[in-house]
């Protein structure tokens, strides 16, 4: 009757007996334990029924009946937790998904890198600032960006919890008060798009919506559950509300452990999977986010992160890069999804435009031969980072598109299907209405000289609003044709 990892031999602390990559050493263990005790007592951020709904929606993605959009910041910061920033991010996620829904005639499952994406893995433990070496910045939930604040402080974990709560509260408020209404998609900040052709393309979509009965039927799907998720709160069963799930890299295991709670699988799932009446099995849910992923630097088969991930009921992502061997990938799937549950594992591939040709087909074939059910998602960002001549970390729009189009082509050649994309983007604008300038190119043709104008990321470079819509139209056109 087990539907996910046979977790009889698993508890939220199991990972502690394994070696963890990217470990944070806190100077005061007693202080850390006190903070974790407090977090353990705080309420969950998300619920088992929401997590189960996402698991179900991901089975639709796996069956080619929906597309997954996973997107947001590389890293959130406490300082950027403002009404404007959260609304802009949610607005961009909605605008992006609208373009996909419209063009591809597929429902979009939206998972934000939001409300908890604070921890960052680093390639080196220290960095040189001026003439001294300091610990690398590990994300706002660990230490501060300022060189004098680099000592890990457990209080930051608590602060991460409360910033996640505030963010999620605002997302829920936006979505339940009409911000997500497909009747007013322009409210999601179309006014900021300056490229006339992009603006016209987007405007034609939102105008077309008015009499798009076909569209309504398509995104409502026939399944009651999916229809309900789009129509919930609905008055006349119209498209008033949308789902937006949260995710982050499950890097800080002490925090993730403290947010892991045991609950019965919610009734609706039990009846669907086991028939009613049935005893309600209890599972461990990570209640800090709906979806968690294990990063490319922490996915060792015998490591602490994989041990942690195998026991939680949440749908999970695994980053897959050039260093992943074919048999290692299958071995990893055997560990985290021994019962081969649908919707449980999303493979987020990130090779780089110049490397995808050597790795993706091999990985797809290995997984196909193993029979493991997975969702394939393209992350065209992380393999394509470079340093500009001015020293800023950037990515070229053309390279991002190149990896994405290669990915679509290779899946086609392997009789596989790309189920979604994972992007680092931001809808942020400054007071004058200008968007960030972190990635080169796009329909706005951002040049290397312009890169420094509004470079705001303190982590990886993000696509701005217009560049993101460019990507959305590209994917949408692909599936339309």
Annotated binding site: 74, 113, 319, 350, 382, 424, 460
Nearest to 468 by CA among 180, 121, 189, 179: 189
CA distance 203 to 326: 45
State which of residues 76, 257, 296, 428 lies at the interface with ligand PEP (CB under 6 A): 296
| Subset of residues 345 to 374 that bind ligand PEP, contact rule: CB under 6 A | 350
Helix pair 224-231, 213-220: axis angle to 10 deg = 120
Residue 350 beta carbon to ligand PEP: minimum distance, rounded to whole angstroms:
5
Nearer to ligand PEP by Cβ, of 299 and 310: the residue is 299
Nearer to Mn ion by Cβ, of 182 and 471: the residue is 471
CA 320, distance to chain mean position in Å, is 14
CA distance 440 to 399: 10
Binding segment (CB under 6 A) for ligand PEP, from list 184-192, 292-300, 409-417, 472-480: 292-300
The residues of the shown chain that bind Mn ion, judged by CB under 5 A, are: 74, 460
State which of residues 116, 295, 315, 380 lies at the interface with ligand PEP (CB under 6 A): 295
Binding segment (CB under 6 A) for ligand PEP, from list 102-110, 191-199, 291-299, 326-334: 291-299
Rounding to the nearest 10 degrees, give the CA dihedral for residues 266, 267, 270, 276. Answer: 170
Helix pair 326-336, 356-370: axis angle to 10 deg = 50
| Subset of residues 69 to 88 that bind ligand PEP, contact rule: CB under 6 A | 74
CA 347, distance to chain mean position in Å, is 12
Nearest to 201 by CA among 476, 481, 479, 478: 476
296 binds, among ligand PEP, Mn ion, none (CB under 5 to 8 A by kind): ligand PEP
Residue 459 beta carbon to Mn ion: minimum distance, rounded to whole angstroms:
6
Q: How many residues bind ligand PEP (CB under 6 A)?
A: 9
Residue 74 beta carbon to ligand PEP: minimum distance, rounded to whole angstroms:
5
Nearest to 462 by CA among 407, 380, 377, 352: 380
Look up tokens 């195998």; give the residue. Answer: 310
Six token digits for residue 131: 């003439």
Secondary-structure percent of the chain, ordered helix, strand, coil, rounded to 5: 40, 15, 40
CA 111 to each of CA 57, 58, 71, 336, 428: distance values in angstroms, whole numbers, following the listed order = 11, 11, 7, 21, 18
Residue 216 beta carbon to ligand PEP: minimum distance, rounded to whole angstroms:
34
Nearer to Mn ion by Cβ, of 243 and 460: the residue is 460
226 binds, among Mn ion, ligand PEP, none (CB under 5 to 8 A by kind): none
Which residue's CB comes closest to ligand PEP?
295
Binding positions for Mn(2+): 74, 382, 424, 460
260 phi and psi, to 5 degrees? -95, 125
405 in Cβ contact with 429 (< 8 Å)? no
Nearer to ligand PEP by Cβ, of 295 and 343: the residue is 295
Binding segment (CB under 6 A) for ligand PEP, from list 102-110, 126-134, 289-297, 409-417: 289-297
| Subset of residues 22 to 61 that bind ligand PEP, contact rule: CB under 6 A | none
Nearer to ligand PEP by Cβ, of 59 and 384: the residue is 384
Residue 405 beta carbon to Mn ion: minimum distance, rounded to whole angstroms:
21
| Subset of residues 377 to 406 that bind ligand PEP, contact rule: CB under 6 A | 382
Nearer to ligand PEP by Cβ, of 3 and 467: the residue is 467
Which residue's CB comes closest to Mn ion?
74
Coil vs helix vs strand at 420:
strand
Nearer to ligand PEP by Cβ, of 93 and 219: the residue is 93
Nearer to Mn ion by Cβ, of 105 and 122: the residue is 122
Is residue 121 a contact point for ligand PEP (CB under 6 A)? Answer: yes
Look up tokens 């800080």; give the residue. Answer: 252
295 binds, among ligand PEP, Mn ion, none (CB under 5 to 8 A by kind): ligand PEP
CA 223 to each of CA 156, 217, 227: distance values in angstroms, whole numbers, following the listed order = 42, 11, 6
Q: What angle do CA 74, 77, 82 make, to 5 degrees?
A: 115
Residue 314 beta carbon to ligand PEP: minimum distance, rounded to whole angstroms:
17
| Subset of residues 300 to 329 that bind ligand PEP, contact rule: CB under 6 A | 319
CA distance 301 to 255: 21
CA 447 to each of CA 31, 201, 308, 327, 465: distance values in angstroms, whole numbers, following the listed order = 48, 24, 43, 42, 16
Binding positions for phosphoenolpyruvate: 113, 319, 350
CA distance 206 to 479: 19
CA distance 403 to 384: 9
Residue 181 beta carbon to ligand PEP: minimum distance, rounded to whole angstroms:
31
Nearer to Mn ion by Cβ, of 199 and 393: the residue is 393
Contacting residues toward ligand PEP, per CB under 6 A: 74, 121, 295-297, 319, 350, 382, 460
């Amino acid at each position: 009757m087990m539907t996910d990892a046979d977790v009889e031999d698993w508890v939220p602390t199991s990972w502690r007996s394994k070696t963890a990559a990217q470990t944070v050493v806190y100077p005061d263990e007693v202080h850390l334990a006190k903070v974790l005790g407090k977090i353990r007592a705080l309420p969950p951020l998300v619920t088992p029924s929401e997590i189960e709904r996402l698991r179900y929606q991901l089975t639709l993605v796996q069956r080619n009946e929906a597309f997954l959009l996973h997107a947001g910041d590389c890293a959130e910061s406490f300082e950027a937790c403002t009404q404007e920033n959260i609304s802009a991010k949610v607005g961009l996620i909605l605008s992006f998904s609208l373009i996909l829904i419209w063009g591809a005639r597929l429902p979009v499952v939206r998972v934000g890198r939001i409300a908890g994406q604070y921890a960052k893995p680093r390639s080196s433990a220290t960095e040189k600032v001026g003439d001294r070496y300091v610990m690398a910045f590990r994300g706002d939930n660990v230490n501060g960006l300022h060189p004098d604040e680099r000592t890990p402080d457990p209080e930051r974990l608590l602060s991460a919890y409360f910033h996640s709560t505030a963010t999620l509260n605002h997302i829920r408020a936006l979505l339940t008060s009409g911000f997500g209404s497909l009747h007013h998609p322009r409210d999601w900040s179309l006014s900021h798009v300056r490229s006339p052709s992009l603006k016209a393309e987007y405007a034609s979509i939102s105008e077309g919506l008015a009499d798009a009965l076909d569209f309504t039927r398509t995104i409502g799907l026939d399944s009651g559950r999916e229809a309900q998720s789009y129509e919930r709160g609905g008055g006349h069963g119209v498209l008033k509300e949308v789902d937006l799930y949260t995710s982050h890299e499950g890097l800080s295991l002490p925090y993730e452990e403290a947010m892991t709670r045991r609950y019965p699988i919610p009734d609706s799932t039990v009846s669907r999977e086991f028939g009613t009446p049935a005893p309600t099995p209890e599972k461990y849910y990570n209640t800090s986010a709906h979806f968690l992923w294990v990063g490319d630097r922490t996915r060792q088969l015998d490591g602490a992160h994989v041990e942690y991930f195998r026991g939680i009921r949440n749908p999970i992502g695994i980053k897959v890069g050039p260093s992943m061997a074919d048999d290692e990938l299958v071995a990893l799937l055997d560990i985290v999804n021994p019962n081969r549950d649908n919707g449980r594992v999303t493979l987020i591939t990130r090779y780089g435009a110049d490397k995808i040709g050597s790795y993706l087909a091999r990985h797809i074939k290995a997984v196909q031969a193993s029979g493991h059910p997975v969702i394939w998602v393209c992350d065209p960002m992380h393999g394509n980072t470079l340093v500009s001549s001015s020293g800023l970390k950037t990515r070229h729009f053309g390279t991002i598109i190149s990896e994405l189009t290669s990915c679509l082509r290779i899946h086609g050649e392997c009789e596989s299907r790309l189920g979604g994309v994972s992007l680092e983007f931001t809808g942020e604008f400054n007071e004058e209405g200008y968007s960030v300038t972190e990635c080169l190119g796009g329909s706005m043709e951002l040049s290397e000289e312009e890169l420094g104008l509004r470079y705001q990321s303190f982590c990886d470079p993000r696509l701005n609003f217009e560049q993101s819509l460019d990507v959305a139209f590209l994917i949408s056109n692909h599936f339309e044709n």
